[in-house]
Amino acid sequence: MPVLRTVQPTWRKRTTTAHLVLWGGWLALAALFAWCWREMTKNTIWAFVWDAPEQAADLGARMFPPRWSYMERLWWPLWDTLNIATLGTILGILIAVPIAFCAARNTTPSVYFVRPVALFVIVASRSINSLIWALLLVAIIGPGLLAGIVAIGLRSIGFVAKLLYEAIEEIDHGQVEAITATGATSAQIIDYAIVPQVLPAFFGISVFRWDINIRESTILGLVGAGGIGLQLQASLSTLAWPQVTLIFVVILATVVVSEWVSAKVRGAIT
């Protein structure tokens, strides 16, 4: 009988069991999707859904054309909105910078006390949306621009401080060591070795936050915190659709411009 060498090395990525488990997993996922879909659509009134294109077309027709003459009453609220965003960002940055230095592991005065406090302030500020801050502040300091500015500022603290302290922690330690070796004081070390390294990050973060704040400040008026959102709410509640369209156009244009400015500024810093 001739010798048959049938045992060749074979190779597969997975064992048979692993294959079965994998397919079982996919099946479970498909089943879950089907079940979710059924739950989701249980209370849907399908007549309304089939109706949707007509409704959309109807609303679209009523929204178009925008009422351009309304523009003369939008300039001032628009200016307010820009001011809320800009002043709020400045307020946020002023508070965020010292917090960032307290939160960064390599610059904090105390790892066991100051740092956790700073981190808590950051989390607290970040966990609450600007709109909620505005809602609270309108109740506390009354409706108007000031509530909007403070709301934007409070929300910006966490964002700016978090990104800035991460930038501070990532600096090159060699430069700090070199400046320390010259006999510099702590303040001089921050000025000469740390600030130059985090400055590009700082400008980038600030402009980015300003850009976000322009978008956020457009809706603050919905809760009475001033700006173009007030006009939006007034137009929506009186069903003045052509005015709503115009406000959308104005917001879109503002955001496009702010994005362009922010991209330019960030590109200019190296």
Residues that bind another protein (CB under 8 A): 172, 174-175, 177-185, 187-188, 191-193, 196-197, 199-200
Q: How far is the CB of 270 from another protein (least distance, A)?
A: 9
Q: How far is the CB of 188 from another protein (least distance, A)?
A: 5
222 or 265, CB closer to another protein? 265
45 or 187, CB closer to another protein? 187
Q: How far is the CB of 178 from another protein (least distance, A)?
A: 4
127 or 186, CB closer to another protein? 186
74 or 171, CB closer to another protein? 171
Q: How far is the CB of 204 from another protein (least distance, A)?
A: 14
51 or 177, CB closer to another protein? 177
Q: How far is the CB of 174 from another protein (least distance, A)?
A: 4
15 or 185, CB closer to another protein? 185
What is the C-alpha separation between 156 and 150, in angstroms, rounded?
10
127 or 188, CB closer to another protein? 188
Q: How far is the CB of 201 from another protein (least distance, A)?
A: 11
Q: Tally the C-alpha atoms within 13 A of residue 247's C-alpha that lie toward its C-beta.
A: 25
Cβ-Cβ contacts under 8 Å for 18 (sequence gap 6 or more):
none
The amino acid at 48: F
Cβ-Cβ contacts under 8 Å for 51 (sequence gap 6 or more):
none
Residue closest to 71 by CA, chosen among 250, 252, 260 = 250
Q: How far is the CB of 199 from another protein (least distance, A)?
A: 7
Residue closest to 266 by CA, chosen among 198, 199, 204, 214 = 204
Cβ-Cβ contacts under 8 Å for 162 (sequence gap 6 or more):
100, 103, 122, 126
Residue closest to 168 by CA, chosen among 129, 202, 218 = 202
| CA 167 from centroid of its chain's CA atoms | 18
For helices 75-103 and 195-217, give the axis angle rounded to 10 degrees. 140
Torsion angle of C-alpha atoms 187, 115, 86, 228, degrees rounded to 10: -170
What is the C-alpha separation between 220 and 88, in angstroms, rounded?
12
